[in-house]
A and B are shown apart, each in its own frame.
Chain A
Amino acid sequence: EIVMTQSPATLSVSPGERATLSCRASQSVSSNLAWYQQKPGQAPRLLIYGASTRATGIPARFSGSGSGTEFTLTISSLQSEDFAVYYCQQYNNWPITFGQGTRLEIK
């Protein structure tokens, strides 16, 4: 099973600033990496797939990069609605696995 490790566990950022979230895979997942946003009491929402492709309706301030084992999600200018928990997911190998999440909180 591929283990996904996200860092940091919690990130405190001020509105309008940039946030950078990291995800590392225990072995290469090529570009088969997705990012999700989850708000309290809601199901996750797909943000990025293929490591860098925004899902339908996702604002351009969200961008993803990386390949192999190291990935980054960048939110260029944080809006109030962006404070949430973010998960990375590898879909290169079964079982599909998720990271433990990064909580993005208001500084």
Chain B
Amino acid sequence: QVQLQESGPGLVKPSETLSLTCTVSGGSVSSGSYYWSWIRQPPGKGLEWIGYIYYSGSTNYNPSLKSRVTISVDTSKNQFSLKLSSVTAADTAVYYCARADVYLPDYWGQGTLVTVSS
């Protein structure tokens, strides 16, 4: 059974960089043909796919966030990470990491709330 767990600060100051890590167990980030993804959900709102990293290391980002997003992978730790720069209050959300079979997330982390506030 694949499990994912997000970790990182729950509070980030405006203009700083949000950094989250997703630790994967029960599966490998370097095997198969999955899209290791970050998806977020502002409080009380819908879902937004931030981007993903493929097992080969290639990435794809939502154009609305592309200038601020970096997703990377550390195969030695079986983790992948999200960095979102120059955050504002609009970036306050629950951030989920997920494994997607192509574009269908089948395993999700529990989600972590990140609040942007001074």
In contact, A34 and B110 (Cβ under 8 angstroms): no
Query: How many residues on chain A are close to B (CB under 8 Å)?
Result: 20
Which residue of B96, B104, B110 has the most chain A CB atoms within 10 A of its CB atom?
B104
In contact, B104 and A100 (Cβ under 8 angstroms): no
8 A Cβ contacts from B74-92 to A:
none
Q: Residues on B close to A: CB < 8 A?
A: 45-49, 60, 62-64, 96, 98, 102-106, 108-111
A residues within 8 A CB of B111? Answer: 43
Q: How far is the CA of A99 from the CA of B111 in the complex (A)?
A: 19
Q: How far is the CA of A2 from the CA of B49 in the complex (A)?
A: 13
In contact, A100 and B46 (Cβ under 8 angstroms): yes
Q: How far is the CA of A87 from the CA of B96 in the complex (A)?
A: 16
What are the 9 closest A-B residue pairs judged by CB atoms, nearest first? Answer: A91-B103, A43-B108, A98-B47, A95-B62, A96-B49, A100-B46, A98-B46, A96-B103, A49-B104
13 CB < 8 A contacts A-B: A42-B110, A44-B105, A46-B104, A46-B105, A55-B106, A87-B47, A89-B47, A91-B103, A91-B104, A95-B49, A95-B62, A98-B47, A100-B45
B residues within 8 A CB of A100? Answer: 45-46
